[in-house]
Structure formats: C-alpha cells, structure tokens
A and B are shown apart, each in its own frame.
Chain A
Amino acid sequence: AQSVTQPDIHITVSEGASLELRCNYSYGATPYLFWYVQSPGQGLQLLLKYFSGDTLVQGIKGFEAEFKRSQSSFNLRKPSVHWSDAAEYFCAVASNRDDKIIFGKGTRLHILP
C-alpha cells in the first residue's frame, strides 16, 4: 500500500533563510508525487508535481523538489523563505494519473521575522 511520511510536524525558519521539508514515500513502482500548501482555513494549492523525467521539479512561488528513487524521497526546498510562506505543507503520492492521492500528515512551517 502507498504511504507518505513527513517526519517533521513543525519547522521554524527565519525569514530569508533556506528551507527544506522532508518527505518519504512507500510505493513499489514509480510514483506520482506532489507537494501541496494549505493556509489556515483554506483548501489545498498545488506547488509542484513529479510524474517522470527530470528529477528536479520547479514549482510555483519559488519552490522546487527533488525526486530520489534510491532514498524514496521527494524533499521540498526554497532558497529564501518569505513571511507569506508560513502555512501547512503536504507531500502526497498517487499510483497513476487517475488514482486517489495519499497525503502525509503535513509539516507546519513557521517563519521568524
């Protein structure tokens, strides 16, 4: 069965600092991978997705993620965070284009001024 682990429940970084959010997945074949962001009281916004090809994926708002098959990881990075990046971040996996998405439990990002 597919699963997603986000080992960090909360992460705090200073504004302007770099960010890396960790994500590990469990799936036997090549997965479809996603990162979503959720602001308080809001729905989910897709930051980026990986289906195939280049393992370094660029997304919106200056985010990127790297798929590492050998480590079953899909970590999200941003070189310099802004106060507006404070939100909940969810890593997710699916088995194909039409399949349900399995979400991790999320990482809450806090930004220090």
Chain B
Amino acid sequence: DAGVTQSPTHLIKTRGQQVTLRCSPKSGHDTVSWYQQALGQGPQFIFQYYEEEERQRGNFPDRFSGHQFPNYSSELNVNALLLGDSALYLCASSDRFGYGYTFGSGTRLTVV
C-alpha cells in the first residue's frame, strides 16, 4: 500500500521564480494538508484541501496557493519566491473515518 508520495524530492529555484510541488495521498485518503518545515523548526500548517476546496488556511501569504484534483492529489504553488521560503515542504493525507495524518517524505526547496 503506497503511502503519501511527493515530487520532486529536491528543488533549487532562484528568488522571484515560481514553484509547484506535488502530492499524491495515501490510497483511501481524501484530505490533503501542506506544511512548511524550516530548518530546526517544527512543521507549520499552510492549508488543507478537501473535496477540491481549501478548507483551512494557516498564517501564510497569498503567494502560497494550492489545488486539489478529483483524484485527491494536490499541488502547492509558491509565487515570487523569497530566500525565506527555503524549507522542507511536507504533504499529509487523512480520511474522514479516523484521525491520523500520514506524512510524505517531503520536498526540500532551496531558494538562491
């Protein structure tokens, strides 16, 4: 049973560019959440998608946007990249019947 799959695993972008990160949830899961984990910090909630709609949002600027597709996979888009956006971006999926997020291994984004 495949868990949460994220791509790419590593990415280097230049300040001002745009980036798209992808996530495929665990089989049977319909809710996807995105987290940003800066070096030496705990993960911080960006937003959550359910039924292709953004259901909750953390304290992140509008430069961070997302999308969920009918097959429950999701994308995280970040525009106008800043050096401070360098972090590990984690995707987590869950289902409506129990509580327990499954996390992917993350995408390491480096902005130079």
Contacts and interface: CB of A to CB of B under 8 A. Distances in A.
B95 to A, nearest CB: 10
B100 A100 contact: no
A101 B101 contact: yes
B106 interface: yes
B42 A105 contact: yes
B100 A43 contact: no
Contacts, number: 57
Chain B interface size band reads: 20 to 34
A102 interface: yes
Interface stretch (A13-21, A44-52, A68-76): A44-52
A36 B35 CA distance: 14
Interface in A85-104: 90, 92, 94, 97-104
B33 interface: yes
A45 B103 contact: yes
Shortest 8 CB-CB contacts between residues of A and residues of B: A103-B42, A97-B99, A100-B45, A44-B103, A43-B103, A43-B105, A105-B42, A103-B43
Interface of A: 4, 32, 36, 41-46, 49, 51, 90, 92, 94, 97-106
Interface of B: 4, 31, 33, 35, 40-45, 48, 50, 55-56, 58, 90, 92, 96, 98-106, 108
